[in-house]
């Protein structure tokens, strides 16, 4: 496994990392034992960054992850969790200082750890930006100074939110998702401004939350029909060449040199092994070219959060 420095932090993160949302049965009902074995396998094979949130499975993912991490030396993994998002509706977001502080304490309790390495504000495009910049981010800064978290950042879907954040606040890293994948690589356009400031980049969802898998996207996927259809064509194209689309999707997403780590989610111990082994091999550029062509003229971006926060 290759490790890369995350921005200006002292964290050396594995190039492929583990996203724990599937432990909350977000994509399908999972077996807890399989989920725990998946986490152990990932760590045994060199994955050292694990990401979770109280939102995933409405605290279930953190609870199952806490069981998996029990007994594992704390220096074996870098842990990130989030605060601010607790459900799918606007009413389920709370970026107040009071909530962030209690949320972190509850997360630590479920995870069975004394502290997390990174605390993110979760999906800031659903928040009031004035509160994000004047209350929530100063709260994260204070938590960092108090030693409760080592590093801080924000997550979200619209790229505009990240550019705005690094203009207004001092953060260590961002967690972006679905914007550097086979169907949409627009994250690349804003990467130089993050490199310039030493803000680390973690990319999530190399399969686009299931779009680029043989099983396809879950029902709740926000992508439009044209995008779903084009992804199905890509799946068939790969099948016709005897290739698993998830392999190409993963290898493509992790290939950008300025992305420190790419989070992939699974609760299947067999799939985590495949993912880690695939990550060691180079991507088939000719196939990537063919797949990328399928997305010419397809609207690949979906709305997320308040209209004024969209790209």
- Other CB atoms within 10 Å distance of the CB of residue 220: 10
**Rule CB under 6 A: is residue 271 a binding residue for ligand NAD?**
yes
Q: Which of 83, 100, 171, 209 binds ligand NAD (CB under 6 A)?
A: 209
Q: Which of 265, 279, 287, 294 binds ligand NAD (CB under 6 A)?
A: 265
Could you tell me the smallest distance in angstroms from the CB atom of residue 91 to ligand NAD? 18
8 A C-beta contact, residue 164 and residue 201: no
Q: Which of 22, 153, 158, 305 binds ligand NAD (CB under 6 A)?
A: 22
Q: Which of 25, 41, 81, 207 binds ligand NAD (CB under 6 A)?
A: 207
**Smaller CB separation from ligand NAD, 43 or 147:** 43
Q: Which stretch binds ligand NAD (CB under 6 A): 38-46, 141-149, 227-235, 258-266?
A: 258-266
Cα dihedral 165, 221, 96, 99 sign: negative
Q: Which stretch binds ligand NAD (CB under 6 A): 65-73, 86-94, 189-197, 261-269?
A: 261-269
Site for ligand NAD in 52-81 (CB under 6 A): none
The 3-state secondary structure of 120-144, one letter per residue = EECCHHHCCHHHHHHHHHHHHHHHH
**Smaller CB separation from ligand NAD, 175 or 199:** 175
**Smaller CB separation from ligand NAD, 201 or 264:** 264
User: In 3D, which of 64, 117, 45 has the Cα closest to residue 269?
Assistant: 45
User: In the Cβ-directed half-sphere of 57, how many Cα atoms lie within 13 Å?
Assistant: 20
8 A C-beta contact, residue 41 and residue 20: no
Q: Which of 25, 38, 275, 309 binds ligand NAD (CB under 6 A)?
A: 275
Buried b (16+ CB within 10 A) or exposed e, 154-170: bbbbbbebbbbbbeebe
127 DSSP β-pair partners: none
Q: DSSP class of residue 146?
A: T
**Rule CB under 6 A: is residue 204 a binding residue for ligand NAD?**
yes
Nearest-angstrom CA–CA distance, 277 and 14: 13
Q: Which stretch binds ligand NAD (CB under 6 A): 16-24, 32-40, 108-116, 138-146?
A: 16-24
8 A C-beta contact, residue 5 and residue 260: yes
Site for ligand NAD in 28-57 (CB under 6 A): 51
Nearest-angstrom CA–CA distance, 258 and 191: 7
**Rule CB under 6 A: is residue 274 a binding residue for ligand NAD?**
yes
**Rule CB under 6 A: is residue 179 a binding residue for ligand NAD?**
no
Q: What is the CA radius of gyration of the chain?
A: 18
Q: Which stretch binds ligand NAD (CB under 6 A): 87-95, 111-119, 142-150, 268-276?
A: 268-276
Active site (catalytic) residues:
56
**Rule CB under 6 A: is residue 155 a binding residue for ligand NAD?**
yes
Q: Which stretch binds ligand NAD (CB under 6 A): 63-71, 96-104, 200-208, 290-298?
A: 200-208
CA 164 to chain centre: 19
First to last CA, the chain: 34
Q: How many residues bind ligand NAD (CB under 6 A)?
A: 27
Nearest-angstrom CA–CA distance, 122 and 140: 12
Contact residues for ligand NAD, defined by CB under 6 A: 19-22, 27, 51, 122-123, 155, 175, 177, 204-210, 213, 246, 263-266, 271, 274-275
């Amino acid at each position: 496994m290759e490790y890369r420095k995350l921005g200006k932090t002292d964290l050396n993160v594995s190039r492929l990392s583990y996203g724990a949302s599937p432990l909350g049965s977000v994509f399908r009902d999972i077996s807890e034992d399989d989920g725990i074995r998946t986490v152990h396998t990932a760590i045994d094979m060199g994955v050292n960054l694990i990401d979770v949130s109280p939102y995933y499975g409405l605290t279930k993912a953190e609870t199952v992850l806490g069981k998996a991490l029990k007994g594992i030396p704390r220096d074996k993994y870098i842990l990130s969790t989030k605060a601010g998002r607790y459900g799918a509706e606007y009413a389920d977001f709370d970026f107040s200082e009071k909530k962030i502080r209690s949320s972190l304490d509850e997360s630590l309790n479920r995870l069975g750890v004394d502290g997390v390495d990174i605390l993110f504000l979760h999906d800031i495009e659903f928040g009031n930006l004035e509160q994000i910049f004047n209350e929530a981010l100063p709260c994260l800064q204070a938590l960092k100074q108090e030693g409760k978290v080592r590093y801080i950042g924000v997550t979200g879907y619209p790229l505009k939110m990240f550019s705005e954040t690094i203009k207004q606040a001092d953060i260590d890293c961002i967690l972006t998702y679905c914007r550097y994948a086979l169907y949409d690589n627009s994250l690349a356009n804003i990467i130089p401004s993050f490199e310039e400031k030493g803000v680390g980049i973690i990319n999530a969802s190399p399969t686009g939350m299931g779009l680029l898998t043989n099983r396809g996207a879950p029902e709740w996927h926000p992508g439009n029909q044209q995008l779903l259809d084009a992804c199905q064509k890509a799946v068939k194209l790969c099948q016709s060449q005897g290739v698993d689309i998830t392999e190409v999707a993963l290898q493509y997403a992790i290939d950008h040199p300025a992305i420190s780590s790419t989070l992939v989610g699974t609760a299947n111990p067999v799939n985590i092994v495949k993912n880690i082994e695939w990550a060691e091999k180079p991507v088939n550029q000719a196939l990537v070219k063919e797949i990328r062509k399928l997305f010419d003229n397809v609207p690949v971006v979906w709305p997320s959060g308040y209209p004024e926060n969209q790209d």
